[in-house]
């Protein structure tokens, strides 16, 4: 007991400075669970939380009682075999005047119709009704296209921001830029979308909703209204998959996470895969599919002759694709705000202490001015401290002693508490998504030991390879018992049982990547691991219990 008291006292010491309090000063509570492919949240002024599921459900949660009520079932296209693989109910946000008008905005994939729809609903009588379509974005649903974005947010300027992905199949480009201009190959060419000034895909759009359910174009977007071969809704172009966006409620700066390509190393075609956290203080082109990270260029590549051409110029990017319907000369490419090796970057809210009441359990003032960034794949959360100009002052990990399973969205509550939505452990049709709440306590607490990650059930707990698997990106695509986008570890163990060559073969495959054994979904390379590490990981996988 005396040791525990000394431990708690030592944890409280950093509070006298501007240092971020230790994780023990933050409480993480599960508010509700059992969500199917939980996507995005929206918090009402009264503290209720809307949660949307990719399969079409809109649910309203009361954090005080953990009560969950279904307020709508939106008919959506989720997927057909390997097509439309990332479609569904994708985004939600509330009107800035929700307390008065009860307007809720949803972005979803229309069933049996290849469009994404941005629509406004009214929350009345415990249900969502009176649907009014603002905008529809045509998209392709064949040949394994993916990257749909779909995040929604309002800025203090009263404008509604919507992220859209490049709607391109990334699996035929060897992890590099998908710029295939071959005959009948448009699905593999992101130049038709992200680099196309006349297409709404691969963008972040900015519009001003009107009371009648339509919208107007605000001043200050990337292309003035009436500019030939452009869409005036575009605020940011050159995005691969801007999965989660946020708007600083003071500066109106736009932040988003870009999920990067799969390449595990640099090549003559371009850089390895990088994820990005981006900041837009004004409209711009952020380079995809010609550039990545800090404007590292890709090379022009002929997919028919397999010849590599010159590198693209970030100062003067040019789109000459046969699939381009927009301008040939594009705006200069902007570098990423912050980047790191490929995972699944997401941008959360920017916390401003003076926007919330004091001493009600909200985040502490030491986090003032911090952008909360997180990663869906690695599950890591970081605080990026912004100075008065919006530049990075420092960047450090946060809440690392807690376990989150594919965090997919974050939002501030009315008391300054942070809500975190976990997508869940499975890639498709998982049923263990959770809504969690982070609050602050001046008195530190002992963080309880959490149960084993459900994705690792059956792996030998004392094996060094198990620890390595927990710290890598493997769990984004694999479970031990439930098939995700990749095979289960149990199936892998069964397939290679008794094979004396399996450890060496699979260890090398983890490093180099591969495709074809378990279907058309490729496994990206993992060159960050050496052969000894991958051997240990494979050994642990092959020891997965049969039941």
| Mean per-residue pLDDT, 335-357 | 96
For 524-546, the pLDDT digits (tens) are 777 777 787 777 888 888 888 66
For 241-298, the pLDDT digits (tens) are 999 999 999 999 999 999 999 888 999 999 999 999 999 999 999 999 999 999 999 9
Instruction: Classify 16 as helix, strand or coil.
Output: helix
Selected residue with higher pLDDT from 6 and 538: 538
Q: How far is CA 286 from the centre of its chain?
A: 17
Position 135 scores a pLDDT of: 98
> 135 vs 61, 132, 138, CA distance in Å?
28, 9, 10
What residues have CB less than 8 Å from 343, skipping those under 6 apart? 259, 260, 275, 375, 376, 377, 378, 473, 476
Q: Is the pLDDT of residue 96 over 70?
A: yes
| Mean per-residue pLDDT, 56-65 | 98
CB neighbourhood size of 54 (10 A) = 28
Query: What is the SS3 assignment for 182-219?
Result: CCCCHHHEHHHCCCCCCCCCCEEEEEEECCCCCEECCC
Question: Do 115 and 140 touch, CB atoms closer than 8 A?
Answer: no
Position 476 scores a pLDDT of: 64
Q: Six-digit token pair at 325? A: 């319907």
| Mean per-residue pLDDT, 332-338 | 98
| Mean per-residue pLDDT, 192-198 | 98
Q: Is the pLDDT of residue 102 over 90?
A: yes
Q: Is the pLDDT of residue 13 over 50?
A: no
For 114-148, the pLDDT digits (tens) are 999 999 999 999 999 999 999 999 999 999 899 99
Instruction: Classify 122 as helix, strand or coil.
Output: strand
Nearest to 237 by CA among 153, 307, 304, 332: 332
Paired with 160 in beta bridges are 154, 207
Position 252 scores a pLDDT of: 98
Where would I find the beta strands (DSSP E) of 306-432?
307-311, 338-341, 345-351, 370-375, 381-386, 392-398, 407-412, 418-422
Q: Six-digit token pair at 37? A: 């492919």
Q: Is the pLDDT of residue 1 over 60?
A: no
Q: Is the pLDDT of residue 220 over 90?
A: yes
**CA 336, CA 339: separation in Å to the nearest integer?**
6
DSSP letter for each residue of 391-422: -EEEEEEESTTS--SSEEEEEE-TTS-EEEEE
Confidence of residue 504 (pLDDT cuts 50, 70, 90): confident
Domains of the chain listed by start with CATH number: 29-366+402-437 (2.120.10.30), 454-542 (1.10.760.10)
Q: Six-digit token pair at 472? A: 């890598």
Nearest to 291 by CA among 379, 180, 179: 179
What is the pTM assigned to this prediction? 0.85
For 439-491, the pLDDT digits (tens) are 999 998 888 655 456 677 788 877 887 777 776 667 667 777 666 667 878 88
Averaged pLDDT of the chain: 90
Q: Is the pLDDT of residue 157 over 70?
A: yes
Q: What is the dihedral of CA 24, 393, 243, 62, to 10 degrees?
A: 40
Q: Is the pLDDT of residue 237 over 50?
A: yes
* Highest mean pLDDT of the ranges 189-193, 355-359, 517-521: 189-193
Instruction: Classify 4 as helix, strand or coil.
Output: helix
Position 521 scores a pLDDT of: 67
**CA 465, CA 459: separation in Å to the nearest integer?**
9
Question: Do 396 and 20 touch, CB atoms closer than 8 A?
Answer: yes
| Mean per-residue pLDDT, 104-117 | 96
Q: Is the pLDDT of residue 214 over 90?
A: yes
For 378-418, the pLDDT digits (tens) are 899 999 999 999 999 999 999 998 989 999 999 999 999 99
Residue 367 dihedral angles phi and psi, to the nearest 5°: -95, 5
Using omega within 30 degrees of 0 as the cis cutoff, is the peptide bond preceding 323 cis?
Answer: no
Question: Do 57 and 69 touch, CB atoms closer than 8 A?
Answer: no
Selected residue with higher pLDDT from 447 and 12: 447
Nearest to 149 by CA among 209, 110, 198, 201: 201
Selected residue with higher pLDDT from 529 and 199: 199
Nearest to 428 by CA among 360, 345, 486: 486
Confidence of residue 430 (pLDDT cuts 50, 70, 90): confident
């Amino acid at each position: 007991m005396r040791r525990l008291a000394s431990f708690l006292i030592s944890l409280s010491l950093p509070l006298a400075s501007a240092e971020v309090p230790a994780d023990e000063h933050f409480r993480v509570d599960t508010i509700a669970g059992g969500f199917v492919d939980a996507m995005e949240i929206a918090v009402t002024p009264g503290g209720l939380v809307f949660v949307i599921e990719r399969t079409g459900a809109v649910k309203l949660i009361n954090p005080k009682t953990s009560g969950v009520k279904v307020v709508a079932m939106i008919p959506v296209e989720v997927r057909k075999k390997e097509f439309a693989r990332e479609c569904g109910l994708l985004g939600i946000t509330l009107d800035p005047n929700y307390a008065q008008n009860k307007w809720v905005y949803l972005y979803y994939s229309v069933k049996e119709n290849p469009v994404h729809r941005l629509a406004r609903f009214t929350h009345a009588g415990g249900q969502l009704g009176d649907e009014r379509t603002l905008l529809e974005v045509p998209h392709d649903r064949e040949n394994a296209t993916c990257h749909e974005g779909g995040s929604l947010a309002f800025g203090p300027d009263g404008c509604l921001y919507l992220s859209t992905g490049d709607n391109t199949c990334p699996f035929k480009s060897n992890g590099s830029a998908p710029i295939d201009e071959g005959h009948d190959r448009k699905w593999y060419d992101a130049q038709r979308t992200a680099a196309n000034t006349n297409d709404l895909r691969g963008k972040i759009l900015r519009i001003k909703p009107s009371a009648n359910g339509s919208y107007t174009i605000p001043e200050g977007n990337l292309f003035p209204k009436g500019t030939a071969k452009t869409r005036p809704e575009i605020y940011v172009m050159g995005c691969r998959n801007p999965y989660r966006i946020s708007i600083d409620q003071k500066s109106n700066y736009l932040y988003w996470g870009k999920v990067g390509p799969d390449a595990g190393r640099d090549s003559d075609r371009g850089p390895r895969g990088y994820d990005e956290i981006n900041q837009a203080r004004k409209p711009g082109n952020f380079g995809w599919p010609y550039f990545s990270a800090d404007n590292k260029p890709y090379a022009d590549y002929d997919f028919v002759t397999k010849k590599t051409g010159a590198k693209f110029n970030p100062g003067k990017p040019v789109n000459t694709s046969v699939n381009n319907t927009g301008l040939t000369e594009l705006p200069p490419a902007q570098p990423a705000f912050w980047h790191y090796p490929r995972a699944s970057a997401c941008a959360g809210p920017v916390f401003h202490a003076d926007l919330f009441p004091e001493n009600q359990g909200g985040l502490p003032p030491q986090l003032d001015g911090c952008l909360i960034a997180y990663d869906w794949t690695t599950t890591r959360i970081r605080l990026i401290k912004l100075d008065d100009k919006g530049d990075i002052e420092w960047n450090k990990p946060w809440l690392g002693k807690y376990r989150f399973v594919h965090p997919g969205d974050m939002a501030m509550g009315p008391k300054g508490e942070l809500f975190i939505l976990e997508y869940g452990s499975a890639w498709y049709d998982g049923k263990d998504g959770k809504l969690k709440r982070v609050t602050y306590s001046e008195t530190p607490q002992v963080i309880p030991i959490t149960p084993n990650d459900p994705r690792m059930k059956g792996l030998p707990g004392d094996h060094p390879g198990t620890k390595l698997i927990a710290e890598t990106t493997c769990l984004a695509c694999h479970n031990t018992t439930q098939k995700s986008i990749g095979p289960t570890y149990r199936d892998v163990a069964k397939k290679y049982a008794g094979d004396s060559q399996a450890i060496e073969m699979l260890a090398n495959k983890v490093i180099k990547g591969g495709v074809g054994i378990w279907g058309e979904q490729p496994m990206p390379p993992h060159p960050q691991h050496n052969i000894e590490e991958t051997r240990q990981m494979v050994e642990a996988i092959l020891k997965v219990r049969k039941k």
